[in-house]
A and B are shown apart, each in its own frame.
Chain A
C-alpha cells in the first residue's frame, strides 16, 4: 500500500507516493466512526431537553467517514478545516479516547507501529502517543507544576530516581526551570500550555498529538510553543497537530491535511498554502500561513461621532493598582484593538472601564458629561472569552430579553435583532446547546437589547477558523455603525488587520501608545507582532 493518501470522493485531488519501503508509524485504512447517540425515543419535553444538553456538553462531535492516512515517523502533519470538520475526532482516535472514552460505532483499520490501536488500552497508547489539549485551564491533573510533569511517569510506574531525573531533564530541555514547583493557578495561559507540553515531553512518546494548542494563547506564548515544536521535530518525533492558525508552523510542517464533513478532502503542500487566495481562505477556513500577506481591511465609519474621554482611570486588584490610563479619547463608531503583552493589564482595563471591578478611580466623560462608574456599568457589556459563563437562562429568547437594565423594546425590535444577528429560529433553544459562534451572538444580542453603548470584547476570535473569524469581524463592523464604543482585547493579528481602526497598546499597567491603524500604524503593528 504505497498510496499515502486517498479519498474515494476526490481521488484526483491529491495523490502522493512515498517510498514504499519506508515504515509508517501510523496507518489508517477505510476508517469510519460514528458517535453513539443517546436514544431519543421518549418525547417527553424534559428528558429530551436534558439529553440535548448532555449531548452538547460533550463539546464537538463530528463523525469520521472513510479516513485513509499514512504517517511516516518524524513527519509533522497539520490537520486543518473549519470547526466541526472532524479533526478533533481524528486526534481522539489516535490517542485512544475513541473508542475508550467516547463510545461509538467504529469500522476499518488503525495501526500504530504495526499494532492495532483500537485494541490497545489507553495507558498502553500513552506510552507511545502523547496529547497536548486545547484548553490550558483543564488539562492539569495536579495543581503543582513539578508534580504535573511527574504525573505521567508516576502512572507508568517509574522509579522515584528516574522520575526525578526525567523531570529535571525536561525542565532543562524546555528551559522552564523558573516555572518548577509553582502552583498552576499562578501561571499565565501560555505558561500552563508549556507545562502541558513538558508533562508529555517527560514521558518521551514517539508521537505528539496537539489539539489546537495555540487557541487560547497570545502571540508570544505561541512563539515559545514554536520553539518546542522545532526541538521535537529535530529529535525526530512525529507531530500531528490540529490547528487553525498556521503561521507559527510554517517552518515545521511537512503537509497539511484538509478535512471537511468528517472526511479528508485534500492535502496541501507548503507551496499550496503560501499561494492560497483570500477567497479560498474563506472557503476552507484555513488561516494565513504567511502573516506578511495580511492586508488592512478596516473601514472606518464617518458617522456622527461622540467622544468618550478617560482621565486617570485606574483599577485595583486588592490594594495593588493594576492599571492606570492617564488620558485616552475613545470615539463612537470606531473599533479599537487593545494589544499588549500577557499580564500587561488589558483585561483589567476592560473590567475597569465597564465598572465591574471593585475598586477604581479617575474620571470618564461622554461628550462633556461626567459618567460615574455605576453609569458605566449600566452602559457597558463585556463579551468574555469563556462564553459559557455568560449564559444563564433556559432559552435564547429569555437570555436576550432578561436584563436588569430594561429599556422600552417591542416584540418587533426583538425580531429585528434576532434577524440581524442571524439567530431567527433559535429563540426556544437552550443557549447551552448552541455552537460557540451562536452563543457569542446571543450574548451580543442581549447587550444590544438592553441598549448597551460600550461594547467590550475579550479575545472574541480565539480558536476560530478563518471563515468564522471573518464572520465575527463583519458582525463587529456592523455593530460599529450604531453609535457604540467598541473595544476589543485581542492577540489575533489577522483579525486586527481586518477590523480595527485604532490601536491601544497597554504595557505594565499603563497606556503605552495609541495610534490610528493607517499605513504608518500598520507598520507599528507589524513591528509589535514581529511580522516581516
Chain B
C-alpha cells in the first residue's frame, strides 16, 4: 500500500498555490527553469519517471520553439504558434503539479484534510463531489464515444457535451446523496483511517520551495531578474 510517497495534502496544495503565484511574480527564464526542475523533482520523488520524462521533453521542445526557431522564422502564423508555445510553457509547472495532485490524492485524504483545516461543510461537500467526479468522466466519455460511433456522428463539442452534462448532473446528485446518507454533513468531529500528518519529507519539500521563493524575491528585488 505504501509503495508511493504519501505527502500531506496540505503540502500539495501549498505547492500548487505557490507555484501559481511564483510564476505570476516573475517572467524570468531562470525562475521558470527552476520551477520546472522543482516540480519534476517532486514527481520524480513520487516515482513518476515516465511522466517526468514526458514533461521534460515537452518543456525542451516548447523552449526551443521560443528561443531557437524564432531566430529563423517569423510571420503571422509563427507568432501565433510561438505565443501558444510560450503560454503553455509558462503554465507547465502548474500543470505538472496539478495533474500530480489529482492522480495521487485520494478523495478521502482530501476530505479529511478539509475537515482538519476546519473548512465549513458548505465548502467541503461540493468541492469533494467535484473532486470525485473527475475519474468518472473517463468512464462516461468512453461510453458516449461508442454511442456516437454507432450513430456515425463525428466528434463534436455539442454531441459530447449534452450527454456528458446530463450525466454530470445525475452523478453528482447521486454521489452527494450517497455521501449524505453516510453522515458527511456531521458538524462534529471527523476522523480518518489514514493519518493526515506532516512528515519529514513534507517539511523538506516545503523548505526547498521556500528557498526558491526567497531567492526569486531577492533577485527580483535587487533587479537581477524581471
Contacts and interface: CB of A to CB of B under 8 A. Distances in A.
Interface of A: 54, 57-59, 95-97, 100-101, 121-123, 125-127, 130-131, 133, 135, 137-144, 146-147, 150-160, 163-164, 167, 181, 185, 199-200, 203, 351, 354, 356, 377-378, 380-382, 384, 386, 388-393, 402-405, 432, 446
A171 B212 CA distance: 47
Contact of B178 (A59, A140, A382): A140
Given A181-B1, A203-B182, A142 B169 contact: no
Interface string B143-186: 11011111111100011001100110111011111111111111
Interface in B118-136: 128, 132, 135-136
A420 B2 CA distance: 60
A146 B193 CA distance: 9
Which secondary structure characterizes the binding site on chain B?
Answer: helix
Contact of A389 (B154, B163, B176, B189): B163
Given A123-B186, A157-B190, A384-B147, A97 B128 contact: no
A389 B149 contact: no
Interface of B: 1, 106-108, 111-112, 128, 132, 135-136, 139-140, 143-144, 146-154, 158-159, 162-163, 166-167, 169-171, 173-195
A185 B140 CA distance: 12
B181 A156 contact: no
20 contacts: A101-B177, A137-B139, A138-B174, A139-B175, A139-B178, A141-B107, A141-B132, A142-B106, A146-B193, A150-B108, A153-B191, A154-B112, A159-B191, A160-B193, A163-B193, A351-B146, A381-B150, A389-B163, A392-B163, A405-B152
B106 A354 contact: no
A380 B150 CA distance: 7
Contacts of A203: 182-183
Contacts of A405: 152
B182 A155 contact: yes
A434 B3 CA distance: 48
A122 B146 contact: no
Contacts of A156: 183, 186
A154 B180 contact: no
A125 B209 CA distance: 46
Contacts of A131: 178, 181
Given A391-B162, A446-B151, A152 B106 contact: no
A382 B150 contact: yes
Given A141-B107, A147-B106, A405-B152, A389 B143 contact: yes
Which 9 A/B pairs are nearest by Cβ-Cβ distance?
A404-B152, A152-B182, A157-B189, A123-B186, A139-B178, A155-B183, A126-B183, A138-B174, A123-B183
B166 A154 contact: no
Contacts of A185: 135, 139
B147 A389 contact: yes
Given A154-B108, A163-B191, A356-B146, A389 B167 contact: yes
A143 B184 contact: no
Given A356-B149, A386-B143, A154 B106 contact: no
A54 B151 CA distance: 26
A392 B173 CA distance: 21
Contact of A126 (B148, B170, B175, B182): B182
A97 B181 CA distance: 8
Contacts of B188: 157
B112 to A, nearest CB: 7
A141 B135 CA distance: 11
A54 B165 CA distance: 11
Contact of B179 (A141, A164, A392, A446): A141
Given A57-B169, A100-B180, A138-B171, A392 B107 contact: no
B116 to A, nearest CB: 12
A392 B151 contact: yes
Contact of A135 (B152, B174, B176, B182): B174
Contact of B192 (A100, A135, A160): A160
A160 B148 CA distance: 47
Contacts of B136: 137-138
Contacts of A388: 163, 166-167, 170
Contact of B152 (A382, A390, A391, A403): A403
Contacts of A130: 181-182
B170 A59 contact: yes
Contact of B128 (A127, A141, A351, A403): A141
A206 B97 CA distance: 45
Given A159-B191, A382-B146, 6 more contacts: A123-B183, A137-B136, A141-B175, A164-B193, A185-B139, A199-B182
A436 to B, nearest CB: 12
A96 B178 CA distance: 12
Given A123-B183, A126-B183, A389-B163, A139 B191 contact: no
A155 B190 contact: yes
Nearest to B180: A122
A101 B170 CA distance: 14
Contacts of A142: 106-108, 132
A358 B91 CA distance: 34
A432 B135 CA distance: 24
